[in-house]
Structure 1
């Protein structure tokens, strides 16, 4: 097959769906996605060691966390259009190799700027994979099984975060270093990049029927900006992406600051905090992601808006246990609340991505994923990671100079939080607000054509 392959041939019959090969492809891509999130999250797991070693403030560490998302967001539109025009497996393989190498190299960083540079290259590699892999899955599975397939694929997100937390905590404690874990988790991705190259390139739209299988010929003739504008005007895509942006705002802040939050504000040691978080995300995230995709597919029998319904209800409900976890001082209560929040919030992973890929023509799916990624990170975690760090520093400083705001005083009294010691907890209160906003966007999307 040529590198450039617009491939507008007639879609194949659904009877050509080959279950064994399809699930082999899905398993390979899911394993790589797991490595993706391990490499992304392990920095958060060893964050306190990095801050101590490199003398980073919480604001600086927030930038280290955010730079990956910033570069990932900037390069996603590029890989989105490339993924709709060229052979996808080669683009994916290059991305995997790049982020894996950059992860390993981050372990040799000796300054804030060196670590920042290494993390930015991880984001570039991940941009290729995240924009293109869902389109490969969509062209490998029929639409009736797509939500479940994407549920399996995105289950790697909580699993990867869990492995990142656990591996970071255990390895950093064992080696008494945050650097060696970076080398260890970076190597497997280089091997998996070769596995992608032996996969077959699926026919675009080959698993779709009727109108959903039709290519958008005009999109191939248009420039990149016009193609992205064409996608943005689709109501289902727009409301799903707005809801996903608000959800990502909350999840990004919580996932990266949770280890520090449990240590500084709840009094856990580093290893206990990371293992607890790892197990919670492993079990709760897997249950949420699998069940969200499965329930959404089953509810299609009753409403065509089932994906929006599942997203809206579960995300809005997630605000309740999140608020409980931040305010509680009882270990059993806040651990159980974190578990409940993770389960509810991860239920939207599969359905929201199914909305994105199903809302556009097959030859615009990578473009749609890229635009969605751009939106959720520009409006979401690229902002929230730094915002929480900055807000936490600001509350701490205001306590030191006696200028605590009325809002902070009210919230501190309401939740029995000490702003001098638990300023990070107060900063994290912006996350349940974002969850409620996300739920509203998803439910509005139900009512749009």
Structure 2
């Protein structure tokens, strides 16, 4: 008896229409993920002034969210290998939406910090569960495009946050208003995610029975998931490069996401709404273009070989490092230079993001993918996503102490800290993907051989 007859919530081989529906719904959840995640960065200066924080403390606030998300990602990823992935993703979305609303209601700093920690736990469930789902909805040669469409939630959600949060804060005369507004659609999408029919694990592989015995014998599904300890993932050599790249990229992305608006306000003299609009162009518009173009480019490369997709991503990250330095070194009178070159940097960097999860799916067995993605996310976010805001914040305060002109010190310190840290992080990410190119073809063949 097929598994779909045993469980009507599982598609053995999803149709294209059902795959598109699930992809579209997961995209909406991802959009809300990044909208909620970006809110503190957009209204960071009012939060900073309200609570009397310096840049180091701001970095810790941003990183607390990431650290908790990273630590929770490993067990939640393993959980998604054992129970329906829609359950993990749907309840995670419901949880982080509730904590987002709490951030707009709680009136002291520690309460706000606790709400962001809760958001981090909820959001940490989403990437491992949905990454595994998408890998079973689409075959290897179409995964970058599918993942790129899913990851459009990143630039679109961030763009919407940058364009609307400042206006909502000014309209309601409080920076808390956007947090309350953002929670409402999250509850609706969470209910829909909990009701999807998810694909059978391994359904999109050339021979599902070879890579996941559950495809041939549905009764074996649960034992297979339990036999895949995360230590086995670390025996796959290409994973080390993929994890290093993910950490480097997130260091740069979280540093930009946390401190771009403050740089625009302090160093370039923009007000909150204008800074949000410029940040939306740099992060949102270019990210949208990068993912739409990058998914197709990466899938064409994947048709040549698994390593070709990874090599293209490495080249994009190297270009991102060069353009990031060119943009962040712009002087006060050349805002156009910052916008142009940092936009190009972000565009190239986000192309890599369309390759990150498909590259893991290329070398990891279906029954272990959620756990592997959770592990990559955990290490990458701990070293990169948490490290970026903290390192830039500490470096900013240190450089500000030695800057000329006390009134201008924090602006100069933050601008220089970004100019140093972000290009270096993109360079590390490029090196990680370059390292992975040496092993991914062999690891892919091993995975397919069972």
- What is the CA distance between 1:333 and its match in structure 2? 1.6
Corresponding residue of 1:405: none
Q: Aligned match of 2:270 in 268, 271, 275?
A: 268
1:336-351 superposed matches below 5 A: 336-351=340-355
- What is the CA distance between 1:340 and its match in structure 2? 0.8
Corresponding residue of 2:448: none
Corresponding residue of 2:447: none
Q: Distance in 1 between matches of 2:86 and 2:206?
A: 24
Structure 2: 5+ residue stretches without partners: 1-6, 215-219, 443-450
Q: Aligned match of 1:63 in 60, 65, 73?
A: 60
Q: Judge conservation of contact 1:72–1:126 (CA < 8 Å) in 2.
A: yes
Q: Aligned match of 1:181 in 178, 181, 189?
A: 178
Q: Judge conservation of contact 1:162–1:282 (CA < 8 Å) in 2.
A: yes
Measured against aligned partners, the alpha-carbon deviations of 1:228-287 in whole angstroms (never above 9, x if no partner) come to 110122122221111111111111111111100111112211111101111332221011
Q: Distance in 2 between matches of 1:363 and 1:85?
A: 9
Q: Judge conservation of contact 2:246–2:377 (CA < 8 Å) in 1.
A: no
Q: Judge conservation of contact 1:219–1:227 (CA < 8 Å) in 2.
A: no
The alignment partner of 2:137 has SS state of: coil
Corresponding residue of 1:124: 121
Corresponding residue of 1:321: 323
Segment of structure 1 superposing worse, 30-39 or 129-138: 129-138
Q: Distance in 2 between matches of 1:223 and 1:89?
A: 16
Corresponding residue of 2:412: 422
Corresponding residue of 1:393: 397
Distance change in 2, residues 1:401/1:167 (3 Å): closer
Q: Judge conservation of contact 1:392–1:427 (CA < 8 Å) in 2.
A: yes
Corresponding residue of 1:37: 34
Q: Distance in 2 between matches of 1:216 and 1:352?
A: 26
1:31-430 superposed matches below 5 A: 31-210=28-207, 214-215=211-212, 227-329=229-331, 330-399=334-403, 421-428=411-418, 429-430=420-421
Measured against aligned partners, the alpha-carbon deviations of 1:180-224 in whole angstroms (never above 9, x if no partner) come to 111001111011111012211321111111379512899976998
Number of positions where the alignment pairs a residue of Structure 1 with one of Structure 2 = 423
Q: Distance in 2 between matches of 1:212 and 1:376?
A: 31
Structure 1-normalised TM-score? Answer: 0.89
Corresponding residue of 1:432: 423
- What is the CA distance between 1:22 and its match in structure 2? 0.7
Distance change in 2, residues 1:301/1:400 (3 Å): closer
Measured against aligned partners, the alpha-carbon deviations of 1:146-202 in whole angstroms (never above 9, x if no partner) come to 111111001111111111111212211222210111100111101111101221132
The alignment partner of 1:85 has SS state of: coil
- What is the CA distance between 1:145 and its match in structure 2? 1.5
- What is the CA distance between 1:30 and its match in structure 2? 0.2
Segment of structure 1 superposing worse, 94-103 or 271-280: 271-280
The alignment partner of 2:270 has SS state of: coil
Q: Distance in 1 between matches of 2:284 and 2:328?
A: 20
Structure 2-normalised TM-score? Answer: 0.89
Distance change in 2, residues 1:136/1:395 (3 Å): same
Q: Distance in 1 between matches of 2:47 and 2:187?
A: 25
Distance change in 2, residues 1:212/1:382 (3 Å): farther
Structure 1: 5+ residue stretches without partners: 1-6, 403-417
Distance change in 2, residues 1:363/1:179 (3 Å): same
- What is the CA distance between 1:92 and its match in structure 2? 1.4
Q: Judge conservation of contact 2:298–2:355 (CA < 8 Å) in 1.
A: yes
Measured against aligned partners, the alpha-carbon deviations of 1:131-152 in whole angstroms (never above 9, x if no partner) come to 1011111112222221111110
Q: Judge conservation of contact 1:107–1:182 (CA < 8 Å) in 2.
A: yes
- What is the CA distance between 1:399 and its match in structure 2? 4.1
Segment of structure 1 superposing worse, 171-180 or 363-372: 171-180
Q: Judge conservation of contact 2:144–2:355 (CA < 8 Å) in 1.
A: yes
CA RMSD of aligned residues (A): 2.4
- What is the CA distance between 1:324 and its match in structure 2? 1.5
Q: Distance in 2 between matches of 1:276 and 1:213?
A: 50
Segment of structure 1 superposing worse, 212-221 or 252-261: 212-221
Q: Aligned match of 1:444 in 426, 435, 447?
A: 435
